[in-house]
Amino acid sequence: MSEVKVPQNFIKTIIEEDLESGKHDEIITRFPPEPNGYLHIGHAKSIVLNFDLGDEFKGITNMRFDDTNPCKEEIEYVKSIKEDVNWLGYEWDNLFFASDYFQEMYERAIVLIKKGKAFVCELTADEIREYRGTLTEAGKESPYRNRSIEENLDLFERMKNGEFEDGSKVLRAKIDMASSNINMRDPVIYRILHESHHNTGDEWCIYPMYDYAHPLEDAIEGITHSLCTLEFEDHRPLYNWFVEECEMENIPRQIEFARLNLTNTVMSKRKLKQLVDNNIVDGWDDPRLPTISGLRRRGYTPESIRNFCREIGVAKNNSLVDSQMLEYFIREDLKNKAPRMMAVIDPIKLVITNYPEGESELLDANNNDDNEELGSRKISFSRELYIEREDFMEEPLPKYHRLYPGNEVRLKNAYFVKCNDFVKDDNGNIVEIHCTYDIETKSGTGFKGRKVKSTIHWVDAKTAIPAEFRLYDNLIEDEDVSDDFLENINKDSLVIKNGFMEEGMKSLKIQDKVQLFRHGYFNVDPKFTTEDKLVFNRIVSLKSRFRLKK
Ligand code: ATP
Ligand code: MG
């Protein structure tokens, strides 16, 4: 990406110092997702940070799939992750899979064993947990801890050769069961798992644990600055221990930063997967989800997401970011880019009784009043229109300035109309509003004779085209989401409306974005739109209480 300037943050400062001091000539960063789900906006924070730093300092940024756990990982996820990173606007310098390093990781484990720094343990998972101790109590050493190097080498090789059952043995680092840092209490580094891997098939039946694999992956690739989220801070001593004891040539530096959390949504892949698997949402790309694919389908642009990630910045303490801040950035991005058109989401018919029957005319309308470059269009107008049901009241409330018997409003891009009458059906529902229009008040003619307090939108009933509008609200009712989020789902997070759009909108294509007058920004949905009917996702409404702090 050209001309990236990363806002100053403590990680950027470290990099500047490392380049200045000559510690590194070139930086190498990486984005290391586990392919066990779709990416979310939290990942975007990490992607933007790693790739922007790589770009600004003319370094290298790798894409690396951390695929060391064959139980949860799938090719579908690998594919979607690549797509999402590219869509966000980034190109990796190298594409790597942690599973490509399984042989080297295995050999480095043998280095540990030979140095007396790793042993094969036969405690069960429960026993290991029991022996580990607590924050206030030291752990207990495993009875298998003092096996001879020869025995460990032999057992580890046989683990690899598939001689033992899942869970019967593990390889553990031999560090310090009394360490105040529980991560250092002889952590497991390999487990037996007779499970097919999406990349290596059945070649391996032992798999490395994250804490062991990750530092080695970084070191193998020569990563200079390994950026991860805060919960790994306590793992850093172990990270450094593996790099050193495995005698890695390159020494990466792990630096932790705060995770992104957003209000009224869930962020972890585990929780997102629950929503998908329980059919609470319509797949990983449901427009209500904070997944990259969901945001894309909702209508967010890569620019808006990148700008949001840059604005929230990078800090050392976790915090909850207001979802409205993300909405702010898509409004900013689309404000001058998206054409502004008219659609009626909840229609009621309006008849202009003094407009000649059978006739119609074409009116001029700007495509975006704030951006002349988007040009103008003609919209048809005739005796029968649709307006929003809520733009008429039989008995107006105080301060209601839209249509009611005796009141006059402006029809956007057209004329003033005055309500004279309305028609009810047998059930008492209003089905038609009768108005007269004043030909002198045509938009664009500079009419100054009198004023009206309200401008409403409309579509010409003769040419309007039916369309579906999907209106979204927060998926989760609580701002700050806890583990019982499934009990906290907002049942009204999706409302589907069938209305009409102005004729010109029929040329819109999937993923095209428009501002619909008074309703907000909309995206043409790629999943439900058909040849016959456009389906629109509302990205955001027009107004917000949110203000960016300067
Ligand atoms: P999840 O809990 O959602 O599965 P994860 O951290 O396990 O997240 P990974 O696939 O391991 O997901 O993450 C890839 C990278 O993205 C890591 O470097 C991780 O630190 C970063 N990352 C994940 N979630 C966030 C977040 N909410 N904010 C910032 N960075 C994140
Ligand atoms: Mg994970």
Model confidence pLDDT, tens digit, residues 474-523: 999 988 877 789 999 999 999 999 999 999 999 999 999 999 999 999 99
- Give the distance (Å) from ligand 2 centre to CA of residue 117: 27
Q: Is the dihedral of CA 44, 306, 324, 401 positive or negative?
A: negative
For a mutational test of ligand 1's pocket, the pick from 96, 229, 323, i.e. the residue with the most ligand atoms closer than 8 A to its C-beta, is 229
pLDDT per residue as tens digits for the range 176-194: 999 999 999 999 999 999 9
For residue 136, give Cα distances in angstroms to 130, 140, 178, 286, 543: 14, 13, 10, 45, 52
> With pLDDT > 90 as the criterion, what percentage of the chain qualifies?
95
- Give the distance (Å) from ligand 1 centre to CA of residue 455: 47
- Give the distance (Å) from ligand 1 centre to CA of residue 64: 13
The catalytically annotated residue of 117, 140, 145, 259 is 259
Average pLDDT, whole number, for the chain?
96
- Give the distance (Å) from ligand 2 centre to CA of residue 1: 27
pLDDT per residue as tens digits for the range 230-243: 999 999 999 999 99
- Give the distance (Å) from ligand 2 centre to CA of residue 264: 21
Residues framing ligand 1 (Cβ under 6 A) = 32-34, 42-43, 45-46, 228-229, 259-260, 267-269
**DSSP code for 545:** S
Q: What share of the chain is helix, strand, coil (3-state, %, to 5)?
A: 30, 25, 45
Closest residue to atom 1 of ligand 1, CA basis: 268
Q: Which ligand 1 atom is the nearest neighbour of the CA of 268?
A: 3
pLDDT per residue as tens digits for the range 119-139: 999 999 999 999 999 999 999
Q: Quote the pLDDT of residue 483.
A: 79
Determine how many CB atoms are found less than 10 A away from the CB of residue 445: 10
The whole-angstrom separation of Cα 64 and Cα 201 is: 19
The catalytically annotated residue of 34, 74, 104, 477 is 34
For 501-510, b/e burial (b = at least 16 CB within 10 A) is: bbbbbeebee
pLDDT per residue as tens digits for the range 327-372: 999 999 999 999 999 999 999 999 999 999 999 999 999 999 999 9
Q: Quote the pLDDT of residue 423.
A: 97
Q: Which ligand 1 atom is the nearest neighbour of the CA of 272?
A: 3
| Annotation marks residue 34 as catalytic | yes
Q: How confident is the model at residue 425 (pLDDT cuts 50, 70, 90)?
A: very high
The catalytically annotated residue of 45, 269, 470, 538 is 269
Q: How confident is the model at residue 1 (pLDDT cuts 50, 70, 90)?
A: low
For a mutational test of ligand 1's pocket, the pick from 43, 48, 96, i.e. the residue with the most ligand atoms closer than 8 A to its C-beta, is 43
Q: Quote the pLDDT of residue 320.
A: 92
479 three-class SS: coil
What Rg, from alpha-carbon coordinates, does the chain have? 31
Q: Which ligand 1 atom is the nearest neighbour of the CA of 34?
A: 10
Q: How confident is the model at residue 73 (pLDDT cuts 50, 70, 90)?
A: confident
Closest residue to atom 16 of ligand 1, CA basis: 43
Closest residue to atom 9 of ligand 1, CA basis: 33
Ligand with the closest atom to the CA of 98: 1
The whole-angstrom separation of Cα 540 and Cα 530 is: 23
Contact 224, 252 (CB under 8 A): yes
The whole-angstrom separation of Cα 441 and Cα 450 is: 9
Q: Which ligand 1 atom is the nearest neighbour of the CA of 227?
A: 18
pLDDT per residue as tens digits for the range 196-248: 999 999 999 999 999 999 999 999 999 999 999 999 999 999 999 999 999 99
- Give the distance (Å) from ligand 1 centre to CA of residue 32: 8
Closest residue to atom 8 of ligand 1, CA basis: 268
Mean pLDDT computed over 451-478: 96
Q: Quote the pLDDT of residue 239.
A: 98
Q: Which ligand 1 atom is the nearest neighbour of the CA of 228?
A: 20
Mean pLDDT computed over 92-102: 98
Ligand with the closest atom to the CA of 42: 1
- Give the distance (Å) from ligand 1 centre to CA of residue 84: 14
**DSSP code for 227:** E
Ligand with the closest atom to the CA of 229: 1
Q: Quote the pLDDT of residue 550.
A: 63
